[in-house]
Amino acid sequence: MPIVTSKKDVQTLPAATGDIWAEFREIERLNLSLTQTYTHTLGKYSRFFIELENRRLLGTRCAGCARVYMPPRPLCPHCLQATAWIELAGTGVVKTFSVLHFSPGSNADVAALKPPYVFAYILLDGASTLFPHLLRCAPEHVELGMRVRVEFTDQPVEHPIHLMCFVPME
Ligand SMILES: [Zn+2]
Protein backbone atom coordinates (compact mmCIF):
# COMPACT_ATOMS: atom_id res chain seq x y z
CA MET A 1 0.00 0.00 0.00
CA PRO A 2 1.68 3.19 -1.15
CA ILE A 3 1.79 6.17 1.18
CA VAL A 4 0.02 9.15 -0.35
CA THR A 5 0.04 12.28 1.74
CA SER A 6 -1.23 14.96 -0.61
CA LYS A 7 -4.18 13.10 -2.23
CA LYS A 8 -3.71 15.26 -5.31
CA ASP A 9 -4.55 13.84 -8.70
CA VAL A 10 -3.37 10.26 -8.19
CA GLN A 11 -3.43 8.03 -11.26
CA THR A 12 -2.58 4.39 -11.73
CA LEU A 13 -1.14 3.64 -15.12
CA PRO A 14 -1.94 0.21 -16.63
CA ALA A 15 0.82 -2.35 -16.21
CA ALA A 16 1.53 -5.07 -18.75
CA THR A 17 2.02 -8.68 -17.66
CA GLY A 18 5.61 -9.19 -16.58
CA ASP A 19 6.14 -5.47 -16.12
CA ILE A 20 8.93 -5.19 -13.57
CA TRP A 21 7.84 -1.59 -12.86
CA ALA A 22 4.23 -2.57 -11.99
CA GLU A 23 4.76 -1.52 -8.37
CA PHE A 24 5.73 1.95 -9.59
CA ARG A 25 2.77 2.60 -11.92
CA GLU A 26 0.86 4.71 -9.42
CA ILE A 27 1.61 8.32 -10.29
CA GLU A 28 0.95 11.33 -8.13
CA ARG A 29 0.90 14.65 -9.96
CA LEU A 30 1.42 17.95 -8.19
CA ASN A 31 0.94 21.43 -9.57
CA LEU A 32 3.84 23.50 -8.32
CA SER A 33 4.60 27.10 -9.19
CA LEU A 34 8.13 28.44 -9.15
CA THR A 35 9.00 32.04 -8.45
CA GLN A 36 12.54 33.29 -8.83
CA THR A 37 14.07 36.70 -8.38
CA TYR A 38 17.45 37.28 -9.94
CA THR A 39 19.70 40.16 -10.93
CA HIS A 40 20.58 40.49 -14.59
CA THR A 41 23.04 43.03 -15.97
CA LEU A 42 22.53 44.47 -19.44
CA GLY A 43 26.29 44.96 -19.78
CA LYS A 44 27.54 46.63 -22.98
CA TYR A 45 23.93 47.04 -24.14
CA SER A 46 23.02 49.19 -21.12
CA ARG A 47 23.16 52.55 -22.92
CA PHE A 48 20.50 51.39 -25.39
CA PHE A 49 18.09 50.72 -22.52
CA ILE A 50 19.11 53.82 -20.52
CA GLU A 51 18.41 56.04 -23.54
CA LEU A 52 14.96 54.50 -24.01
CA GLU A 53 14.05 56.27 -20.78
CA ASN A 54 15.14 59.50 -22.53
CA ARG A 55 12.95 58.59 -25.56
CA ARG A 56 16.01 58.12 -27.75
CA LEU A 57 16.67 55.10 -29.97
CA LEU A 58 20.34 54.18 -30.27
CA GLY A 59 21.99 51.71 -32.61
CA THR A 60 25.66 51.15 -33.32
CA ARG A 61 27.71 51.73 -36.47
CA CYS A 62 30.88 50.00 -37.57
CA ALA A 63 33.62 52.41 -38.63
CA GLY A 64 35.05 49.70 -40.89
CA CYS A 65 32.10 48.63 -43.05
CA ALA A 66 29.50 51.30 -42.07
CA ARG A 67 26.90 48.66 -41.16
CA VAL A 68 24.41 49.97 -38.63
CA TYR A 69 23.31 47.43 -36.04
CA MET A 70 19.85 47.67 -34.60
CA PRO A 71 19.53 46.04 -32.09
CA PRO A 72 22.97 47.44 -31.26
CA ARG A 73 26.04 45.22 -31.28
CA PRO A 74 29.22 46.25 -29.48
CA LEU A 75 31.36 44.41 -32.04
CA CYS A 76 30.95 44.17 -35.82
CA PRO A 77 30.86 40.45 -36.75
CA HIS A 78 32.20 41.25 -40.25
CA CYS A 79 35.14 43.53 -39.33
CA LEU A 80 35.64 42.49 -35.71
CA GLN A 81 35.88 46.19 -34.82
CA ALA A 82 34.24 47.89 -31.86
CA THR A 83 31.22 49.88 -33.01
CA ALA A 84 30.10 53.38 -31.98
CA TRP A 85 26.68 54.55 -30.77
CA ILE A 86 24.45 56.48 -33.18
CA GLU A 87 20.91 57.78 -32.78
CA LEU A 88 18.22 56.60 -35.19
CA ALA A 89 15.08 58.51 -36.11
CA GLY A 90 12.80 55.69 -34.97
CA THR A 91 10.92 55.22 -38.24
CA GLY A 92 11.07 52.13 -40.42
CA VAL A 93 9.27 49.50 -42.41
CA VAL A 94 7.74 46.08 -41.59
CA LYS A 95 9.80 43.32 -43.25
CA THR A 96 7.97 40.34 -41.74
CA PHE A 97 5.61 39.67 -38.86
CA SER A 98 3.69 37.08 -36.88
CA VAL A 99 0.28 37.31 -35.27
CA LEU A 100 0.52 35.69 -31.85
CA HIS A 101 -2.53 34.08 -30.29
CA PHE A 102 -0.78 33.22 -27.04
CA SER A 103 0.96 35.41 -24.49
CA PRO A 104 3.74 33.53 -22.69
CA GLY A 105 3.42 35.76 -19.62
CA SER A 106 7.15 35.54 -18.92
CA ASN A 107 6.98 38.89 -17.13
CA ALA A 108 4.31 41.45 -16.24
CA ASP A 109 4.87 43.41 -19.49
CA VAL A 110 4.31 40.35 -21.65
CA ALA A 111 1.49 39.01 -19.50
CA ALA A 112 -0.38 42.30 -20.05
CA LEU A 113 -0.53 41.71 -23.83
CA LYS A 114 -3.97 40.73 -25.03
CA PRO A 115 -3.79 38.15 -27.83
CA PRO A 116 -3.94 38.30 -30.73
CA TYR A 117 -1.08 40.77 -31.04
CA VAL A 118 1.57 41.48 -33.67
CA PHE A 119 5.28 40.77 -33.39
CA ALA A 120 7.21 42.29 -36.31
CA TYR A 121 10.71 42.53 -37.71
CA ILE A 122 11.32 46.20 -38.49
CA LEU A 123 14.03 47.63 -40.73
CA LEU A 124 14.60 51.01 -39.14
CA ASP A 125 15.59 53.86 -41.44
CA GLY A 126 19.38 54.02 -41.46
CA ALA A 127 19.82 50.50 -40.03
CA SER A 128 21.31 47.44 -41.74
CA THR A 129 19.66 44.78 -39.58
CA LEU A 130 16.13 43.88 -38.53
CA PHE A 131 14.77 44.82 -35.12
CA PRO A 132 12.19 42.38 -33.68
CA HIS A 133 9.58 43.88 -31.39
CA LEU A 134 5.90 44.44 -30.70
CA LEU A 135 3.87 46.32 -33.29
CA ARG A 136 0.73 47.75 -31.73
CA CYS A 137 -1.60 47.33 -34.66
CA ALA A 138 -4.78 45.36 -35.28
CA PRO A 139 -3.67 42.03 -36.83
CA GLU A 140 -6.02 42.53 -39.80
CA HIS A 141 -4.32 45.83 -40.64
CA VAL A 142 -0.65 44.80 -40.56
CA GLU A 143 1.08 44.24 -43.91
CA LEU A 144 4.57 43.92 -45.34
CA GLY A 145 6.11 47.23 -46.30
CA MET A 146 3.97 49.14 -43.81
CA ARG A 147 5.63 52.29 -42.43
CA VAL A 148 5.93 52.34 -38.65
CA ARG A 149 7.45 54.51 -35.95
CA VAL A 150 8.65 53.99 -32.42
CA GLU A 151 6.33 54.97 -29.63
CA PHE A 152 7.60 55.40 -26.08
CA THR A 153 5.69 55.04 -22.85
CA ASP A 154 6.09 56.72 -19.49
CA GLN A 155 4.21 53.91 -17.77
CA PRO A 156 6.20 51.72 -15.37
CA VAL A 157 7.55 48.56 -17.01
CA GLU A 158 9.22 45.46 -15.66
CA HIS A 159 11.84 45.32 -18.43
CA PRO A 160 13.11 48.50 -20.15
CA ILE A 161 12.59 47.05 -23.65
CA HIS A 162 8.88 47.65 -23.04
CA LEU A 163 9.51 51.40 -22.78
CA MET A 164 9.18 51.24 -26.57
CA CYS A 165 7.03 49.54 -29.18
CA PHE A 166 6.16 50.21 -32.81
CA VAL A 167 2.93 51.72 -34.12
CA PRO A 168 1.71 52.39 -37.68
CA MET A 169 2.71 55.82 -38.99
CA GLU A 170 -0.75 56.66 -40.32
ZN1 LIG B 1 32.07 46.21 -39.88
Helix (H) or strand (E) holding 130, with range, is strand 130-135
* Domain presence at residue 89: yes
CA of 67 to the centre of ligand 1 (A): 6
How many independent structural domains does the chain possess?
1
Confidence of residue 8 (pLDDT cuts 50, 70, 90): low
The three-state (H, E, C) secondary structure of 100-157, written as one string: ECCCCCCCHHHHCCCCCEEEEEEEECCCCCEEEEEECCCHHHCCCCCEEEEEECCCCC
CA of 149 to the centre of ligand 1 (A): 26
Q: Taking 70 as the threshold, does the pLDDT of residue 45 lie above it?
A: yes
CA of 62 to the centre of ligand 1 (A): 5
Q: With contact defined as beta carbons under 8 Å apart, do 149 and 167 qualify?
A: yes
* Domain presence at residue 37: no
CA of 80 to the centre of ligand 1 (A): 7
pLDDT in tens, 55-104: 999 999 999 999 999 999 999 999 999 999 999 999 999 999 999 998 87
* Domain presence at residue 38: no
* Domain presence at residue 7: no
What protein residues have CB closer than 5 angstroms to ion ligand 1? Answer: 62, 64-65, 76, 78-79
Which structural domain, as residue segments, surrounds residue 69? 43-168
Residue, of 32 and 44, whose pLDDT is higher: 44
